[in-house]
Chains A and B, each alone.
Chain A
Amino acid sequence: DAKTTQPPSMDCAEGRAANLPCNHSTISGNEYVYWYRQIHSQGPQYIIHGLKNNETNEMASLIITEDRKSSTLILPHATLRDTAVYYCIAGGGADGLTFGKGTHLIIQP
């Protein structure tokens, strides 16, 4: 599985778009990028995943660079309930996911 690098923390104002970056420069061609989030004391919540193309669902959008070395998770209209630790994971979907420390996103009222 590829190693990922994320900023340890970020702030975002409520109602604004939250853009969370992730570097995964060693990702291989068939490895997916997964995003999860975890609210304190709960299990991780699946958000979105992608391989090459940008993806969008009801929760977020995932933008993957053409060289696949980095990606950005976009929460279009952040709310206070989006305050959580966000994990970017490259590869490992078929067997065990390797979680790093993630980004602690704090939504400010």
Chain B
Amino acid sequence: DTGVSQDPRHKITKRGQNVTFRCDPISEHNRLYWYRQTLGQGPEFLTYFQNEAQLEKSRLLSDRFSAERPKGSFSTLEIQRTEQGDSAMYLCASSSKDYTYAQYFGPGTRLTVT
């Protein structure tokens, strides 16, 4: 199966630490998206890339968050100086450049900040 993969699946960190998550999209998908989901809510869009270019960032993406996709393949999402409010599921999705842009999601990374 060559679906979207995310690593790690779970991360527990102490407040103030930095964390980095990785997403590997479906091969040949040129768009990659990051979302955040808190308990009881639907996923919220954070940012997306077309190839290596970051094209849009949500207001939710504070300056402690940074995302990269250096070679237009995998992407990383880093959170600096984590806060308890950052505890959430971080989801990655990818889509092809066909006209429908259906997005396919990975399993997510569950972050717990203690």
Contact = CB atoms under 8 A, between A and B. Distances in A.
Contact of B107 (A34, A43, A102): A43
**In the complex, which of the residues A44, A45, A98, A100 has the most CB atoms of chain B within 10 Å of its own CB atom?**
A44
**In the complex, which of the residues A32, A85, A87, A94 has the most CB atoms of chain B within 10 Å of its own CB atom?**
A94
Where chain A touches its partner, the secondary structure class is loop
Nearest to B40: A101
Given A43-B107, A43-B108, A44-B91, A93 B102 contact: yes
Contact of A97 (B4, B55, B103): B103
Contacts of B85: none
B41 A46 contact: no
Interface string A67-89: 00000000000000000010100
A87 B108 contact: no
A45 B91 CA distance: 12
A95 B108 contact: no
Given A43-B4, A49-B102, 14 more contacts: A36-B105, A41-B110, A42-B107, A43-B91, A43-B105, A46-B102, A46-B103, A87-B42, A93-B101, A93-B102, A97-B43, A100-B42, A101-B41, A102-B42
Interface of B: 4, 31, 33, 35, 41-46, 48, 55-56, 58, 89, 91, 93, 95, 100-108, 110
